[in-house]
Amino acid sequence: MFDIKETDKKYVANTYNRFPVEIVEGKGALMYDKDGKRYIDMGTGIGVTAFGINDDKWTEAVCDQLKKVQHTSNLYYTEPCARLAKLLCEKTGYKKVFFGNSGAEANECAIKIARKYAQEKKGEDYYTIITLKNSFHGRTLTTLSATGQDHFHKLFNPLTPGFVHAEANNFEELKKLALENKTAGIIMEAVQGEGGVNPLDADFVKKTAEFAKENDIILIMDEVQTGNGRTGKLYGYMNFDIIPDVVTTAKGLGGGLPIGAVLMSEKVENVLGFGDHGSTFGGNPVCCAGAISVIERIDEELLSDVRKKSEYIFDELQNADGVESVTGMGLMIGIKTKKPAGEVVKECMEKGVLCLTAKDKVRLLPPLNIPMDLLKEAIDTIKSSLE
């Protein structure tokens, strides 16, 4: 017998502490392990499978493209890449899109845009990027440097220079740091996901956006987790009545295939020219076909449904015994539980509900279209696991 757990432990690098569950298939918000045990998926592979597992429209779009051509490199034109870029621009008002393969790569590209814009316009010493404490921007060395959590940095020095971390929701400090340094860009998450599902204060976001605009500093919203309908709007920044210069996204965009995107406003659409940036896999036609089937379906009807389900979760959990607080937006929710979050997640898993953690919270990122009966069942299970 092939022992998957032992083989994985022996041959796969030790970077993941996996749960003792082997998922073999699923449909929508349900997943099944190798013994046929049923799970309600409240984590979507960390906000990735936006319409659930093996979703009919998504699978059809992906398989159709797979049978035509799976990869060409960026030396040639392919239809899904052009169609997806058009769709994203038409739905958001952004002017151009760069495609990569992950959230970290999208942020790398955004940082390059901010630096090139500032260095061309203001001088080569304008390279500082202000990010927020408790943020998460990725695992490459530069996005790790952007990430405002020291424990990720330990023993990986020297980091990429030019990143300064400001206290979230403290506009005066951010402003001071941005003016003290020769600042090229500011990066924020509308809701700090890995940091504990904490939405930024609306006033802070607005003041920061105005300040960036007045000082010709590139405002980048990292929508890797908050993007693509997750917060109840197409992109998280749309909850704040601001227009960032650059938006990065990934996770839910591809519905389960690796793709990241950088949306560029008119101000920066031509900053990167031939040879300034690239990616072998970026804009892969199969990934783009999957992403089209996701983005096409994120309309006002779906988004209002996301917001309704969000309200339901808040109503059910906010005053539940064993809950200290509920934070988040849309179907991106953090629950501070009296019991350690890890224990709640473990108990839910035993009862057939898969949840995530973020810092000391239980985190929920269910499919955007999770049926109400399954959502109710999952929330009831969570409630029964809090004490």
Question: x-or-dash pattern for ligand PLP, window 19-38, by CB under 6 A?
Answer: --------------------
Residue list 288-327, contact with ligand PLP (CB under 6 A): none
Looking at the Cβ atoms of 230 and 297, the one nearer to ligand PLP is 230
For ligand PLP, the binding residue among 65, 225, 310, 381 (CB under 6 A) is 225
Determine if 363 is a binding residue for ligand PLP (CB under 6 A). Answer: no
For ligand PLP, the binding residue among 200, 224, 271, 386 (CB under 6 A) is 224
Nearest C-alpha neighbor of 324 from the set 334, 312, 310, 313: 334
Stretch of 163-171, 187-195, 285-293, 352-360 lying at the interface with ligand PLP (CB under 6 A) = 187-195
User: Residue 225 CB, nearest distance to ligand PLP (Å)?
Assistant: 3
Among 41, 55, 108, 222, indicate the residue that binds ligand PLP (CB under 6 A). Answer: 222
Hey, which residues between 133 and 162 contact ligand PLP (CB under 6 A)?
136-138
Sequence-distant (6+) residues with CB within 8 A of 374 are: 29, 30, 40
Q: Strand 163-166 to strand 128-132: parallel, antiparallel, or no bridges (unpaired)?
A: parallel
Residue 253 vs 353, nearer CB to ligand PLP: 253
Q: How far apart are CA 360 and CA 375, in angstroms?
A: 23
| Residues numbered 79-138 forming contacts with ligand PLP, rule: CB under 6 A | 102-104, 107, 136-138
Instruction: Name beta bridge partners: 331.
Output: none
28/138 with CB nearer ligand PLP: 138
**Rounded distance, CA 246 to CA 188, Å?**
11
CB of 267 to ligand PLP, least distance (A): 22
Candidates 200, 250, 289, 378: give the one binding ligand PLP (CB under 6 A): 250
Concatenated DSSP letters for 100-131?
ESSHHHHHHHHHHHHHHHHHHHT-TT--EEEE
Least distance to ligand PLP from the beta carbon of 367, Å? 17
The widest CA-to-CA distance across the chain, in whole angstroms, is 65
Would you say 121 and 286 are in contact if contact means Cβ atoms under 8 Å apart?
no
**What tokens does 360 get?**
């000391």
Residue of 41, 55, 189, 245 interacting with ligand PLP (CB under 6 A): 189
CA distance 130 to 132: 7
The Cα 63–Cα 73 span in angstroms is 19
Pair of tokens at residue 348: 């839910």
Q: Pick the closer one to ligand PLP by CB: 192 or 293.
A: 192
Min. distance of Cβ 262 from ligand PLP in angstroms?
12
Toward ligand PLP, which CB reaches closer, 102 or 369?
102
Q: Which is nearer to ligand PLP, 224 or 364 (CB)?
A: 224
Of 41 and 222, which has the nearer Cβ to ligand PLP?
222
Per DSSP, helices labelled H in 122-201 are 141-146, 150-153, 171-180
Number of residues that bind ligand PLP (CB under 6 A): 15
Q: Are 11 and 296 in contact (CB under 8 A)?
A: no
Residue partners of 350: CB distance under 8 A and separation at least 6: none
Q: Which of 118, 194, 199, 354 binds ligand PLP (CB under 6 A)?
A: 194
- Residue nearest ligand PLP (C-beta atom): 103
**Helix, strand counts (H, E) of the chain:** 13, 17
373 CB neighbour count, 10 Å cutoff = 9
Q: 3-state class of 87 per DSSP?
A: helix
- Per DSSP, the three-state class of 4 is helix
Decide whether 101 or 183 has the Cβ nearer to ligand PLP: 101
- DSSP letter string over 316-356? HHHTSTTEEEEEEETTEEEEEESS-HHHHHHHHHHTTEE-E
Q: Which is nearer to ligand PLP, 138 or 367 (CB)?
A: 138
Interface with ligand PLP by CB under 6 A: which residues? 102-104, 107, 136-138, 189, 193-194, 222, 224-225, 250-251
